[in-house]
Structure 1
Amino acid sequence: MDLDMRKVRYFVALAEELNYRAAAERLHLAQPVLSRQIQSLERELGVRLFLRDSTGTRLTPAGEQLLKDAVPLLTDARGLQRRVAAAAQSTRSLTVGFMPGLTITFATRALSKAHPDVSVEVLRTDWTDQVTVLHDGRADVGFVRMPIDLTGLSTLSVWHEPHVAVVAAAHPVAGRDTVGIAELAADDLLQDPDTVPEWKAVRVDAEYRAPSPPARSVEEKLEWVASGRGFSVLPQSVADYYRRSDIAAVALNDVAFNEVRLAWLRDRRSPVLDSFVDVVRQHLPLEESEARFSA
């Protein structure tokens, strides 16, 4: 049986919304059409994917498994389409993703010099899509901040930089040179606690969960910090880039450094990509002044 990717896309929308009306609006479909497509997919797979009752719509165990597999499947399909389209172009190109706080000019300039016939593009990413853009083909290679899911990726460690605690300007530790993470144990961390295990280890409330939904960008996170909802841990270069008067960045003396890596799909190789990786490798170890430009 061949899966209909259109129906899989409809399934993912419904699985994420768990509401037929909202999913239909998101897909620009009539609700009865969406219902028929989901029923057709269930018949083709021979399983029930959703349960509907007075409490609403929820996934069955089979639906949960399909959602887990379908998201990367759709991402890979989009990546395939983009790579095929790029191969048909008359000019070669390389798109490089980069995270906030980083400037990658040293590498893009060197590649352009070595391959003047290659169009080098850049794509600003964030914590939510720095890996996705590699799988779905929007970027060929990316400067990512760890930790990330390394499945299917090759990576090269580029540099490390310290973390800072970003707090509201009125916070008791604002204005200090350094702070220990235990001094912030009573404050709410405005990001996934697993990304700062040092704070999680000293947190008074062991069951604490970050705000849901999470902030979609650094800017949103800093708005929360400024309003006094809690604090955030950011790489030094990111905090430097987003300086503002109503927040303060304080060096953390007992939190591990952030690692920046160059990442690309393990099975996605080309002479231009190989050349770019070599360019970055030749610049290792990067001086701190090179590593902490803002983008």
Structure 2
Amino acid sequence: MTNEHSGESAAAPVTEPAAPGIRPFSIAFAAGVTVTKWTRLWAERRPGTPLEVFRAEADQQVAVLHERSADVSFVRLPVEQQGLSVITLYSEVQVVVVPKDHPASVFDAVTVADLADEHLLQDPDLVPEWRDVAAEIVDGSRRPLRGIQSIDDAVEQVAAGVGILIVPQAIARLSSRKDVVYRPVTDVAETRIALAWLSEETTADIEEFVGIVRGRSASSSRAPSREAEETAPDARVKKLGPVAKAKAKARAAAEAEAASAKRAGVKKPAATQAARKKKQSDAANAAQARRRKFGGKR
């Protein structure tokens, strides 16, 4: 799936001014995930609830939820999902980052077999497809990683010709520089971006944000909450069309007439019953005709 939501995002928290006593809705996101589309919609629909948006490092993208420093977190799977509600949003292509003059740079895409003789500047278990064919793993010649504390450190070593990286395309794009290039690796599994939050703390704000992320419009119907069902039990009653309305009106009139006749001890003749059914049918046909004539307008 094309990753149309990835890209560079500021790491520093972005907080909108909050009115006194109003707690901001806090959103964490993994590196490479752009949340602008969804935060813009939130601002339009919930102008009274400000947002706090910040980037969470890979080892903190779930911790921020358990620590209550974020209401929701855009995470890069896999993560520990115990106690979380998680919805997968989209997938990311994995790419190899190599020096600009590397042989792989002349191809549109490569396979792990093409990279089997390279030195990987990350934990091989993060890329099991490469690990299973890598020469340095098979012959035991793999050397320890040194001086890598961040993705920028790793890309710096790629540029120096020390080794390669295999990362999601969004990360490669975020860390791009003139002396390196990246190419898709066709036989490495795509990574997935998901939205996560604490299941036991699913608030109305979280439900609203989940709806925004899922593409629900402001005017679209939503399943009512338990409270809404209790206070407005008739909110989901289906609207009746003109034909159904005419039939219901005629039926109600007939039932009222029958009840009146019963109270008076008068048995309704069969001919009268037939006339009643005809009246209902005529009313329904007339309503249908009006609907055809006026294009559904009532």
Q: TM-score range by the shorter chain?
A: 0.5 to 0.7
Which letter maps to 1:281? R
Equivalent pair of 2:124/2:130 in contact (CA under 8 Å)? yes
1:238 equivalent in alignment to 2:171: yes
1:281 equivalent in alignment to 2:214: yes
1:139 equivalent in alignment to 2:70: yes
Aligned residue for 2:122?
Answer: 191
Deviation at 1:175, TM superposition (A): 3.2
> C-alpha separation between the residues in 1 aligned to 2:106 and 2:164?
15
1:160 equivalent in alignment to 2:160: no
Aligned residue for 1:93?
Answer: 24
Distance 1:147 1:192, change over 3 A: farther
Aligned residue for 2:44?
Answer: 113
Equivalent pair of 1:190/1:211 in contact (CA under 8 Å)? no
> C-alpha separation between the residues in 1 aligned to 2:169 and 2:190?
9
Deviation at 1:216, TM superposition (A): 3.6
- TM-score normalised by length of structure 2: 0.60
Deviation at 1:261, TM superposition (A): 0.5
1:258 equivalent in alignment to 2:191: yes
Distance 1:179 1:283, change over 3 A: farther
Distance 1:110 1:210, change over 3 A: farther
Aligned residue for 1:151?
Answer: 82
Distance 1:149 1:192, change over 3 A: farther
Which letter maps to 1:157? T
> C-alpha separation between the residues in 2 aligned to 1:129 and 1:215?
18
Name the count of aligned residue pairs. 196
Offset from partner CA, 1:100-147 (integer Å, 9 cap, x none) = 222111111112222111111111122232222222222211111112
Aligned residue for 1:180?
Answer: 111
Equivalent pair of 2:73/2:196 in contact (CA under 8 Å)? yes
Equivalent pair of 1:167/1:226 in contact (CA under 8 Å)? yes
Equivalent pair of 1:192/1:210 in contact (CA under 8 Å)? no
Which letter maps to 1:222? V
Aligned residue for 2:273?
Answer: none
Aligned residue for 2:155?
Answer: 222
Distance 1:95 1:215, change over 3 A: farther
Distance 1:250 1:98, change over 3 A: same
Q: Secondary structure at the match of 1:91?
A: coil
- TM-score normalised by length of structure 1: 0.61
Which letter maps to 1:275? E
Equivalent pair of 1:191/1:210 in contact (CA under 8 Å)? no
Aligned residue for 2:132?
Answer: 201
> C-alpha separation between the residues in 2 aligned to 1:268 and 1:217?
33
Alignment gaps of 5+ in structure 2: 1-19, 218-298
> C-alpha separation between the residues in 2 aligned to 1:283 and 1:222?
39
Alignment gaps of 5+ in structure 1: 1-88, 285-295
Matches within 5 A, 1:70-81: none
Which letter maps to 2:42? L
Distance 1:131 1:208, change over 3 A: farther
Offset from partner CA, 1:194-222 (integer Å, 9 cap, x none) = 22111112122146878557844321221
Deviation at 1:247, TM superposition (A): 1.0
> C-alpha separation between the residues in 1 aligned to 2:22 and 2:146?
41
> C-alpha separation between the residues in 2 aligned to 1:214 and 1:140?
34
Equivalent pair of 1:95/1:139 in contact (CA under 8 Å)? yes
Equivalent pair of 1:191/1:214 in contact (CA under 8 Å)? no
Alpha-carbon RMSD across the aligned residues, in angstroms, is: 2.3
